Amino acid sequence: MSDFKALFDPEDMFNPGVVVRPSPLDADLRRPQALSLRASEEKDSTRGRARVLQEMLNGGVVTLGWSSPEVHDALDLCLSCKACASDCPTGIDMAMFKSETLHQTYKGRIRPLSHYTLGRLPQWLRLSATAAPLVNLAGRLPVLRKTIMALMGADLRRSLPPLPRAPFRRTQEGRNRSHGRKGGHKVLLWVDSFSDALAPEVARDAVEVLVAAGCDVELAGPGACCGVTLISTGQLTAAKAKLRATVDLLLPHVRDGRTVVGLEPSCTATLRSDLVELLADDPRAAEVSAAVRTVAELLAGIGWTPPLAGEKLLVQPHCHHYAVMGYAADEALLTAMGCDVETSAGCCGLAGNFGMEKGHYEVSEKIARRGILAKAEALPDHGIMADGFSCRTQVRDLAGLESRHLVQVMADALRAERRQASDHGGGATGGNEDGGGSQPARIQV
């Protein structure tokens, strides 16, 4: 064939290297032609991080396994925001890969200080609840605040989030485990560590909204925890134990027909996604995960008509909310409330413990100033809505701006509606506790 082709094509112009004198099978493979990692400038992209992990597993350029400096250098600026899990065409979850890397690296070894503090935040919050006035006083005194932040392994420029007078579970609403109307949609409200110990007003307003929607609300027991701070710092053995205990607590309620409603997006996303990945050997995990909903998803599912608010809102969707649950139900709910909504795309920059840790402050601030803070400056007449505690902390820390959770926006609208009805001597027209009244457009998702 080679000789025959040469008679008609002596210059080998047609289909060179095809059939006749083809290239060797190993001539054009990627690996021999790849640039070395040290020469590459893409290590801080998702593709670059994935490539470093590939090289580590192959044992080629990266030779020290999970503890390799190249691996940790590439993953250091990963926000663990999970955006790649939904935005990247391959659906790669770099946040989980980072957690696994930290788990393998520090398994049986001494960890960075922030893993013992920020990584075990729920435990520290329970311990500090009884000393809230002293902790808040220390947070207002620069010397004491910086000392505490240094002991936590956090950046000294960060603030200490103020502790409430009492966690939600120690308030009257929190001690009463049942709320609302028997016979309504059965809800198990999961009050996470952040909503309980740092933002009890969110849990209180959530109860008010769910009761107004005609739900039969029961509060989940205090032992239910998703372990998100353990997961983000790679303490996966402890996280799995925490999740198994949570499944034990939630499963009887789920089998009783209750929908588990979460308030903190990162915690809700953990039960929707990480739970089934980390407890893949436990079929009960999928059963619980399938019953978990956001507030907006629940309200859309029961067809409740929300109160009209008519506010101008700048909304910062939490990264895990956007990546795991999607934000369509929340947008539809806000539209039904008559709100003029502007959405800030991308991460707030704090990203859980990322922006709190030493070495990340500048990157965290730059992300915020290019994103949510730039939007806030351009839209000064818009109130800020952010469901994530870290998002609310970021805008308060860097710009002194207050923001509200979705349930707070709805609760404010319900109170305004009741005041207006009281002023006119009539009853509320929507969102009353019996779920009755006139029914304008239902939420469509």
pLDDT at 31: 56
Q: What is the pTM of this model?
A: 0.85
How many Cβ atoms from other residues are within 10 Å of residue 416's Cβ?
14
**Residues of the chain by 3-state class (helix, strand, coil), percent to 5:** 55, 10, 40
CA distances (Å), origin 283, targets 20, 237, 276, 307: 56, 18, 8, 39
End-to-end CA distance of the chain: 64
pLDDT at 38: 53
Task: Please report, for the chain, the start and end positions of each structural domain, with discontinuous segments joined by +.
Answer: 1-29, 34-110, 168-225+236-301, 304-410
pLDDT at 428: 45
Q: What are phi and psi of 151, to 5 degrees?
A: -65, -25
pLDDT at 40: 52
Query: Letter for the amino acid at 207?
Result: V
Please identify every stretch of the chain with a pLDDT value under 50, giving residue numbers as ranges: 32-33, 39, 428-445
Alpha-carbon distance 321 to 328, whole Å? Answer: 10
Cβ contacts of residue 122 below 8 Å, gap of 6+? Answer: 193, 197, 225, 229
Token pair 């120690």: residue: 170
pLDDT at 441: 38
Strands 383-385 vs 215-219: parallel, antiparallel or unpaired: unpaired
CA distances (Å), origin 120, targets 90, 142, 152, 235: 32, 24, 11, 9
Cβ atoms of 316 and 274 within 8 Å: the answer is no
How many Cβ atoms from other residues are within 10 Å of residue 313's Cβ?
22
Residue 326, class by beta-carbon neighbours within 10 Å (0-12 exposed, 13-18 middle, 19+ buried)? middle
Cβ atoms of 288 and 271 within 8 Å: the answer is yes
Cβ atoms of 11 and 20 within 8 Å: the answer is no
pLDDT, tens digit (0-9, with 9 covering 90-100), for 290-345: 999 999 999 999 999 999 999 999 999 999 999 999 999 999 999 999 999 999 98
Of 375, 366, 412, 405, nearest in space to 388 by CA: 405
pLDDT at 438: 35
pLDDT at 210: 97
Cβ contacts of residue 36 below 8 Å, gap of 6+? Answer: 61
Q: How far is CA 422 from the centre of its chain?
A: 39
DSSP sequence for 133-184: HHHHHHHHSHHHHHHHHHHHTB-TTSPPPPPPSS-GGGSHHHH--EEE-TTS
In three-state secondary structure terms, 340 is strand
Q: What are phi and psi of 384, to 5 degrees?
A: -100, 130
CATH class of 304-410: alpha beta
Alpha-carbon distance 199 to 177, whole Å? Answer: 18
In three-state secondary structure terms, 28 is coil
Radius of gyration of the chain (CA): 26
Strands 185-190 vs 259-262: parallel, antiparallel or unpaired: parallel
pLDDT at 369: 97
Alpha-carbon distance 124 to 10, whole Å? Answer: 80
How many Cβ atoms from other residues are within 10 Å of residue 248's Cβ?
13
pLDDT, tens digit (0-9, with 9 covering 90-100), for 70-105: 899 999 999 999 999 888 887 889 999 999 999 999
pLDDT at 51: 87
